Amino acid sequence: MTIIACQDVSLQFKGDQTPVLDHIDLQVQKGEFVSIIGKSGSGKTTLLQMIGGLLNPTKGDITVLGNVITEPLTEITYVFQRPVLLEWRTVLENVLMPIELKKRPNQEDRNKAKEVLALVGLADHTNKYPHELSGGMMSRVTLARAFMTEPEILLMDEPFSSLDAMTKEQLQLELMKLTDQFSSTTIFITHDITEAAYLSDRVVLLGEQPARVVKEFQMPFSRLRPKKLKYDPSFIKVVKELYDSIDGLGGSSS
């Protein structure tokens, strides 16, 4: 079942001579995990913002859950590149924020928040404040908050880019388990090619501006995936193919 569809989508900002995105066609199926990769400035975040209803295309339509999207939907949860936590609120209170936007949290909501925090390894840190947390712990709080409402669609813009390798690897495992548990349809932006291959059912490569979908790669691995998969020759071969495809675009990558 197609849950997100971009049909001949283009975006050109006022005053610019060249579109950022041009003739984008992309479909995402229910429960699918899709990563979007490409060189810096290719429009990955811009495309994610349009799918999230934060920007409207200049041309074409983006359909989400059967409706042309013109504004953010409650069924969509957007996770930004850096954790956005309120410093004066505890971990538990930060996770409860999506509930507070709808109603006053009750004990059932608080219990659920604690359960989700336990899933990301923060069961013993519910009463701490953001300044008491490491970068990895703040990213875990962001993950817990994102899944608090059991989002049907999860849009993630390089959420692990600032983390060290070991913390990133652990969060990748936790994200994989959470998206599987909650059956969330996920679009994930990353510059980390190995991360894209490891997490995704499908990887979409954008070309340079005006960017189009250059190629799509179906990942030949079943989920859930063990850490040791990254050392398997078949996985390494897929990662090399992704790198070669980006290098084939010309210019410099990041």
Q: What is the pLDDT along the chain (254 residues), one digit of tens a residue?
A: 899 999 999 999 887 878 899 999 999 999 999 999 998 888 899 999 999 999 999 999 999 999 999 899 989 999 988 888 999 999 999 999 988 888 888 899 999 999 999 989 899 999 999 999 998 999 999 999 999 989 999 999 999 988 889 989 999 999 999 999 999 999 999 999 999 999 999 999 999 878 899 999 999 999 889 999 999 999 999 999 999 999 887 654 44
As a whole number of angstroms, the distance between CA 32 and CA 48 comes to 15
The C-alpha angle 213, 217, 221, rounded to 5 degrees, equals: 155
Residues 6+ apart with CB under 8 A from 33: 179, 185, 186, 188, 199, 200, 201, 202, 223
Q: What is the pLDDT of residue 253?
A: 43
CA trace torsion 52, 56, 57, 58 (10° rounding)? -170
Return the pLDDT at 14: 85
Q: What is the pLDDT of residue 239?
A: 96
So what's the pLDDT on residue 15? 79
pLDDT of residue 55: 93
Domain boundaries in the chain?
A: 81-150
DSSP 83-141: ----TTS-HHHHHTHHHHTTS---HHHHHHHHHHHHHTT-TT-TT--GGGS-HHHHHHH
- Cβ proximity of 117 and 126 under 8 Å: yes
pLDDT, residue 252, reads: 44
Question: Which pTM does this prediction carry?
Answer: 0.91
